[in-house]
Structure 1
Amino acid sequence: MDTLAKVTALFTILSVSLAQSSEAAASMYNATYSGSSATAHVTISMDTSSLTGDFILLGTSHLESITMTVSGAVSGNGTFTKSDFNNFSFRSTQALDFTREIVGQNGFADFNFFGASPAPNGSVEFTLKADGGSSDLMVLTSLAPVPEPSSAAP
């Protein structure tokens, strides 16, 4: 193989390798919103690798998937997915540690979903109201990464 062919082959291998390593890696998070009788349990998949300082994410395009189950509400109970929400808000005024519980960290400013009835709708920071905003109020009490499955010892 001549030198030009070797350099071209090496460049191709490096390009493919770099492209694969720079692909966004989505992480799974669980969130819980609680009210006097209603709760919403959420599992979302999103890439947080670029969220290194203060940030504002708006829109559901930042999310790979959403599954939210509302129960105990007067109305608006059920399971909702990404297609049930027309907007999403995630804000922080400083860097967050995405490896641990996010609620309570300094700078955490909002985490909300916006949907039409029967899906929940954000009303103020960290607060959802069931059934498009017409039913029970629920406040974010937890947002944490889903633990990685531990590998079994041989």
Structure 2
Amino acid sequence: MTFTIAGAMPRKKYTESSFGERLQNLRKSRGLTQVQLAEAAATTQRAVSYYETEAGFPPAPAIISLAQALQVSTDELLGLKPPKAVPAEDDPEARRQWKRFQMIATLPERDQKAVVRLIHSLVAGSSLRKNTSTQTGDRHGR
């Protein structure tokens, strides 16, 4: 029986969907530095760098804190679901609106449902006015 020993261990190849790349992409898409993310997640910049460079995988409580700080689900952070799109940094108005929308997620569930009901009623009212104006032949919606 013959044994051969490799000269070196093969390097682990990370795909684009590796945890570290996902973490870094999410952080950058939200316009955060490692220090800002670390403060928001109650950890250190060194830990964020460690996770981003694939030197180590964070423990479960750190994953939860990072997901909350990045305003994504843990499923999105872990790559089980695709992350929600974020407006480009060169579109400040879209980013402002996106941030306002993301603030809804921080509300209690009861208030979130109230916001959804309000949006549904506004959309329904808008489509009702649109249908009424087209039936009367008024093109300006008055």
Range of TM-score over shorter length: under 0.3
Higher RCO structure (Cα 8 Å, ≥6 apart): 1
- Decide which structure has greater helix share: 2
User: TM-score, with normalisation over the residues of structure 1?
Assistant: 0.23
> Could you say which structure has the larger radius of gyration?
2
- Decide which structure has greater strand share: 1
User: TM-score, with normalisation over the residues of structure 2?
Assistant: 0.24
